[in-house]
């Protein structure tokens, strides 16, 4: 199958300031790809170049093997970062409107809108005007509008932004359902937890450059490996020192350590058995994608890659 998207050394500057620099990648059919990075990393600019909404200063883009244009009509579903629904439209009108723009006739488009709203638990909102919806509901309606024509390739720019945890979970379910039908999905986010749960592959951006491209597991392998330990006996610090690159003593007396690259958590357990030092706590900590990202690009992006936070959900942008 043809790759839906390939970027070849694309770069883009605005007012002389680089936004994207020499970025290349190819998306394989059927993948869920997380396009990740802090705010300002160049994610949205890259996705807009991928769709042909803006032209790169250099490099080329292939969308279904061709320069982005009319040939991709109806094959792509796009959820932009800037949310926007016509305030006076109802939910079913908004979805049907986008379906019709993508080639579906009026009557089937409204039937499709009704089916989607019922399927994803929004049946009661069919005739509710967009201006009267909560932000979470409006965002789900806009996502359904983007996917209504069942495109082969979905590009979702920050789809989870501004949603409370419940709506984030619902949206994740929609993404999984789309993928179960063999569709290709690229979604950008600055919140790593979504990508960690959903993605086959991740592309990490920082300061306009691609810094990692690979499987989620490969990214996690770059994160620090941590172990929490405790013992009522003396000598725990001395025992773990050969295996640790960093040791933190907590107020409760527990040790939290980062393993050296050549050390394994079970090495500590084996050494404690050999020396007869009884552990009251032995807790290897699963690495996170957030930790992997910080390890790859540095602490200066830590504040921009924080976990998702619930936001107000009243009102809808137009």
pLDDT tens figures, 70-93: 888 889 999 988 777 888 899 999
Q: For position 138, what pLDDT does the model report? A: 86
Q: What is the pLDDT of residues 230-280, one digit of tens each?
A: 999 999 999 999 999 999 999 888 999 999 999 999 999 999 999 999 999
3-state secondary structure of 69: coil
pTM of the predicted model over 0.85: no
Which residues neighbour 119 within 8 Å (Cβ) at sequence distance 6 or greater? Answer: none
Spatial CA neighbour of 223 closest among 289, 285, 268: 289
Cβ atoms of 28 and 72 within 8 Å: the answer is no
Q: Is 222 a residue whose pLDDT tops 50?
A: yes
Q: For position 317, what pLDDT does the model report? A: 38
Using 50, 70 and 90 to split pLDDT, how confident is the model at 122? confident
Domains assigned to the chain: 5-220 (3.40.50.300), 226-286 (3.30.70)
Q: What is the pLDDT of residues 151-198, one digit of tens each?
A: 999 999 989 887 888 888 888 988 999 999 999 999 998 778 888 899
């Amino acid at each position: 199958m043809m790759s839906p998207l390939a970027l070849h050394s694309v770069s883009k500057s605005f007012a002389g300031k680089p936004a994207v620099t020499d970025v290349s990648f190819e998306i394989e059919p059927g993948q869920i790809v997380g396009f990740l990075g802090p705010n300002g990393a160049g994610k949205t600019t890259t996705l807009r170049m991928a769709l042909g909404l803006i032209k790169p200063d250099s490099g080329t883009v292939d969308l279904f093997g061709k320069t982005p244009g009319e040939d991709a009509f109806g094959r792509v579903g796009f959820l932009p970062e800037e949310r926007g629904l016509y305030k006076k439209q109802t939910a079913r009108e908004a979805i049907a409107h986008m379906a019709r723009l993508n080639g579906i006739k009026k009557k089937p488009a409204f039937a499709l809108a009704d089916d989607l709203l019922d399927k994803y638990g929004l049946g009661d909102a069919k005739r509710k005007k967009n201006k009267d919806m909560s932000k979470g509901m409006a965002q789900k309606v806009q996502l359904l509008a983007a996917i209504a024509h069942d495109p082969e390739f979905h590009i979702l720019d920050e789809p989870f932004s501004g949603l409370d945890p419940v709506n984030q979970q619902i949206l994740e379910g929609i993404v999984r359902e789309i993928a179960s039908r063999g569709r290709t999905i690229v979604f950008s986010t600055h919140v790593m937890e979504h990508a960690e749960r959903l993605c086959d592959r991740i592309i990490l951006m920082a300061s306009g450059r691609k810094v990692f491209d690979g499987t989620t597991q490969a990214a996690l392998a770059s994160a620090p490996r941590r172990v929490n330990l405790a013992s009522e006996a003396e000598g725990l610090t001395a025992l773990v020192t050969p295996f640790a690159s960093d040791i933190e003593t907590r107020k409760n007396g527990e040790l939290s350590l980062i393993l050296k690259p050549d050390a394994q958590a079970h090495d500590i357990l084996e050494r404690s058995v050999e020396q007869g030092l009884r552990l009251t706590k032995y807790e290897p900590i699963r690495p996170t994608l957030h930790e992997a990202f910080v390890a790859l690009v540095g602490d200066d992006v830590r504040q921009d890659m924080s976990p998702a936070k619930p936001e107000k959900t009243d009102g809808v942008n137009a």
